[in-house]
Structure 1
Amino acid sequence: MEYRFSDRVSNLKPSAIREIFKYASDPEVVSLSAGNPSPDAFPAKEIAEISAEVLKNDPISVLQYSVSEGYTPLRNTLKEYMKNEHNTGSDSDDILITTGAQQIMDLCSKALINEGEVVICEAPSFIGSLNTFRSYNAKLVGVKVEPDGMSIDELENALKANPNAKLIYTIPNFQNPSGVTMSFEKRKKVYELAKKYGVLILEDNPYGDLRYSGEYVPNIKSLDTDGIVIYAGSFSKVISPGMRVAYCICPKPIFQKLVVCKQGNDVHTNIWSQYVCNEFITKYDFNAHLARLREIYTKKAEFCMNLLDKFCAPAITYHKIDGGLFIWCDLPDSIDMPTFCKKAVENKVCVVPGNAFLTDENEKCQSFRINFSTPTDEQLEKGIKILGEIANSWS
């Protein structure tokens, strides 16, 4: 039988990262490609305690259907937490609990983007979000990421050239994949441009709590007095990605449409997971847990950057980071990046080719992304040493 796929998916390709995972499953391969939290980062004991208690004393509350908007105590907790800790959210906003932050991208695309309309994205940007926008036949327009965030001049040029732009998608903190943090000055300018051109901002912030150094920078959503910012937060990097709990803070009219879309998607997010997240935030020391995560990742990030200095210079350069889970590495023009990544796989090391994160995957790219949170120190040293040997012996 000849299968006829919808126009939305006929040209979609599998995620480059997920394809690389097939190689990374080999126990002999050092995977520097994943974005998984460190195995030491999970509050497994606390999750077990919370789960045992509710399943013993009130199991139906987490096993029965629930409301699409999300577990009410968690929504209330997050409203208070985000307002008090980050000045994020107002009386004009509401909060939706979603099945991971990826679902926020999907629901926003479904609710807001018509076929052919433009989403302006950082270049590079997170492949999962790019593929979601592509699945709704959006036109992607990339804006160069500079050391302090997306280029403001390029952003305004893109807005002028694309009057049908609907969204500006940004990951302002420890951006995936570049590791760059957008300055506060640029955040204000991005907000001003969005307001000027009548475009919404989709602010994706899964890594904001994982700052190792430097000053805290307020969220773009904290500037939102005009109802133009949709904020995506997540527990994937600070509690557990497997639980699939994220949250979207957005203007109430958008919230109402996202709820309707979610009802046709998965009815509601896993209630047990939502319950665990709420109990963990309210009955355990959540800030102490975040401090422990920062300690873990600070050591791993510094160790990784020291290895890059030791084994990879001068052929491989990289961008120093103040937080997050990723380091963006650059190759000289004399080294073909796709061939380099293939050679790395042949030598049992997986990294992600940089072009996978571009709005145009055929565009020339000399960069690749590595992750340091998942591998052990021994694996990191082995993998980075191999990368350095390949690059520095290139001919």
Structure 2
Amino acid sequence: MEYQFSDRVSNLKPSAIREIFKYAADPEVVSLSAGNPSPEAFPAKEIAEISARILSENPISVLQYSVTEGYTPLRQHMMEYMRSNHNTGSDSDDILITTGAQQIMDLCTKALVNEGEAVICEAPSFIGSLNTFRAYNARLVGVTVEPDGMNTDELEEKLKANPDAKLIYTIPNFQNPSGVTMSLEKRKKVYELAKKYGVLIIEDNPYGDLRYSGENLPNIKSFDTDGIVIYAGSFSKVISPGMRVAYTIAPKPVFQKLVVCKQGNDVHTNIWSQVVCDEFITKYDFNAHLQRLRDIYTKKADFCMELLDKYCAPEITYNRIDGGLFIWCDLPEDIDMPKFCKDAVLNKVCVVPGNAFLTDERDECHSFRINFSTPTDKQLEKGIKLLGELIKSYNK
């Protein structure tokens, strides 16, 4: 039978990262390609305790259908937490619990973007979100990411050139893949431009609690007196990605449409996961847990950057990071980046080619992304040493 696929998916390609995972499955290959939390980071004991208590005392509460908006106590607690700790969310907003932050991008695109309309994204940006926008036949418009965030002059040029733009998508804290944090000045400028040109902002912040150094910066959503920012938060990097629990704080009219779209998507997010997250953040010391994660990732990030300096300099360069899970590495311009990444796999180390994160994968790119949270210190040193040996072999 000849299969006819919809226009929405006919041109979609598998995720480059997921494809690389196939190579990483080889036990001899050091994977610096994943974005998984460290095995040390999971509160497995606490999750087991909470789950046992729930299933013993009130099992039907997590085995029955639930409401689309999300588990009410979790919604209330997260709205209170975001307001008191991050000045984020107002009486004009509401909060929706979603099945991972990926679903937020899906629901927002479905609700707000018509086929062919523009979504303005950082370049590079998170491949999962880019593919979601592509799945709805949105037209991706890239804006260069600088060491202090999105180039706001270029952003305004792209807004002028694309009057049909519906969304500006940004990851302002420890951006995936670049590791860059947007400056306060640029956060305010992005908000001003969105307001000026009548475009909504999706502020994706899965890594904001994982700051190792420097000063915490306010969320763009904290400036939102005009109802133009949709905030996306997640428990994936601070509790568990496998539980698939995230949340979005959105203006009430947008929230209402997202709820309708979610009803046709998955009815509601896994209720057991929601209850576990609520119990963990309210009955355990969540702030102490976050500090433990920062301690873990501070050591791993510092070690990774020391290894890059030791084995890969001066051929491979990078910008130092203040948080998150990723480092964006730049090759000399005379080195073919896709070839380097393929040669790396043949030499038993996996990295992600930078063009996978571009709005147009055909654009020239001399960068690749590495992740330091998942591998052990021994694996990390072996993998980065292999990268260093590979890049130096090109000059022989």
TM bin, normalised by shorter chain, reads over 0.9
Give the 5 Å matches for 1:1-395: 1-395=1-395
- Give the partner amino acid of 2:150: M
Query: Distance between the aligned counterparts of 1:318 and 1:187, measured in 2?
Result: 23
Residue 165 of structure 1: SS of its match in structure 2? coil
8 A Cα contact 1:314 1:392, kept in partner: no
How high is the sequence identity, in percent, across the aligned residues? 85
Query: Distance between the aligned counterparts of 1:334 and 1:257, measured in 2?
Result: 49
8 A Cα contact 1:30 1:383, kept in partner: yes
Residue 97 of structure 1: SS of its match in structure 2? strand
8 A Cα contact 1:172 1:181, kept in partner: yes
Query: Distance between the aligned counterparts of 1:286 and 1:206, measured in 2?
Result: 16
Residue 9 of structure 1: SS of its match in structure 2? helix
Unaligned runs of 5+ in 1: none
Residue 207 of structure 1: SS of its match in structure 2? coil
- Give the partner amino acid of 2:10: S
8 A Cα contact 1:107 1:258, kept in partner: yes
Query: Distance between the aligned counterparts of 1:392 and 1:308, measured in 2?
Result: 13
- Give the partner amino acid of 2:31: S
Query: Distance between the aligned counterparts of 1:252 and 1:392, measured in 2?
Result: 55
Query: Distance between the aligned counterparts of 2:392 and 2:150, measured in 1?
Result: 31
Query: Distance between the aligned counterparts of 1:137 and 1:335, measured in 2?
Result: 33
Residue 340 of structure 1: SS of its match in structure 2? helix
Aligned residues: 395
**What TM-score do the two structures reach when normalised by structure 2?**
0.99
Residue 247 of structure 1: SS of its match in structure 2? strand
CA offset digits 1:301-345 (Å, max 9, x no partner): 000000000000111111100000000000001211000000000
CA offset digits 1:134-184 (Å, max 9, x no partner): 000000000000110000100000000000000000000000000000001
Q: CA RMSD in A?
A: 0.4
Query: Distance between the aligned counterparts of 2:329 and 2:99, measured in 1?
Result: 31
Residue 8 of structure 2: SS of its match in structure 1? coil
Residue 88 of structure 1: SS of its match in structure 2? coil
Moved beyond 2 Å, runs of 4+: none
Unaligned runs of 5+ in 2: none
Query: Distance between the aligned counterparts of 1:129 and 1:219, measured in 2?
Result: 19
- Give the partner amino acid of 1:263: Q
- Residue 210 of structure 1: how far off its partner (Å): 0.1
Query: Distance between the aligned counterparts of 1:147 and 1:63, measured in 2?
Result: 47
Query: Distance between the aligned counterparts of 2:163 and 2:195, measured in 1?
Result: 13
Query: Distance between the aligned counterparts of 2:215 and 2:130, measured in 1?
Result: 29
Query: Distance between the aligned counterparts of 1:268 and 1:367, measured in 2?
Result: 39
